[in-house]
Amino acid sequence: MAKLAILISCAMLLAAACHGLEMGYYRSTCPKAEALVRAEVKKAVRADAGSGAGIIRMLFHDCFVEGCDASVLLDPTPANPQPEKLGAPNNPSLRGFEVIDAAKAALERACPGVVSCADVVAFAARDASYLLSHARVSFHVPAGRLDGRRSIANDTLLFLPGPTSNLSTLVSGFAAKGLSAEDMVVLSGAHSIGRSHCSSFVPDRLATQSDIGAPLASLLRRRCPASPTAANDPTVVQDFVTPRKLDNQFYKNVLARRVLFTSDAALLSSQDTGRMVRANARFLASWEKKFAKAMVKMANIEIKGSGVGEIRKNCRLVN
């Protein structure tokens, strides 16, 4: 049965994307690995749902740059003063690092040197999805990832689509990582949770004419400065209807012109993606299944081989 589960999981992914990943990878070397990660994520989400949203976003930001190798976790050092976490798409908005630290510390106490930080991020994103969806988004992820040693801030600008991206940029950016246009639309549903800094949308969506609905635009103008700065850049929830729940409300917001980013509104700029938005808005259970499948697919981007990756002792530093 275990072998069948591996085959089924790999069939969901891109051809040749499994790279030796297995379901239950740590069953003999660290049997409590996934439970230990889940416990830390549950603790964090109960204290602050936003940390769970940050962890889901972390998986995306990690996997799109250098593959799913925990390169986004590396701190600056004299040898590498500008790692990914200091790149504009990540700093200061990316959050959840302390949750990964806590999970890794628990793993090192239980089975030192066994579980990679990249697997911790994948497990944590899965668990955050489950908790924030009130147990409706449930999936397994194969494990066996290795941690990378390269982490460059400028790479984040090359590979991560931004909030001002148009549809063609979004589609091509996801395609470069082996993900389809439908995967992109489905994963965009994560914008039903979490917060955004005003600077991510004010210049593009409020300072100029846009399709954003007047009531939301008025609310955002009251909460955001006209010209956000590093010292004055507050955050707002991305979904004003169900801000603490991972659900399909995002797609309803897109249709109602109540979304923050140009990249969100762009989903209606083609017939194909517009049809996907309407379907996801209408059929919650279908979107949940597609979201789970797309998360597994994303968590298998560009996995490091044994000659390239390592298992870090500290997720913030290479060995």
Q: Detail the residues annotated as belonging to a binding site.
A: 62, 65, 67, 69, 71, 84, 161, 191, 239, 242, 247
Helices (H) and strands (E) in the chain, counts: 13, 2
Among 36, 31, 152, which Cα is nearest to 89's? Answer: 152
Residue ranges at the known binding site for heme b: 191
Q: What are the binding residues for Ca(2+)?
A: 62, 65, 67, 69, 71, 84, 239, 242, 247
The one-letter amino acid code at 312 reads R
Q: Which residue has the tokens 């609905």?
A: 213
Q: CA 24 from chain center: how many Å?
A: 22
Of 61, 134, 140, 197, the catalytic one is 61
Residue 147 phi/psi, 5-degree rounding, is: -85, 140
b/e map of 90-122 (b: 16 or more CB within 10 Å)? beebbbbbebbbbbbebbbeebeeebbbbbbbb
Give the Å distances, CA to CA, from 69 to 33, 87, 188, 259, 317.
18, 17, 22, 31, 13
Residue numbers in the known binding site for substrate are: 161
**For residue 171, which of 261, 90, 258, 267 has the smallest C-alpha distance?**
267
Stated as kind and residue range, the H or E segment containing 155 is helix 153-159
Q: Tell me whether residue 19 is one of the annotated catalytic residues.
A: no
Residue 305 CB-density burial (10 A; 0-12 exposed, 13-18 middle, 19+ buried): exposed
Query: Active-site residue numbers?
Result: 61
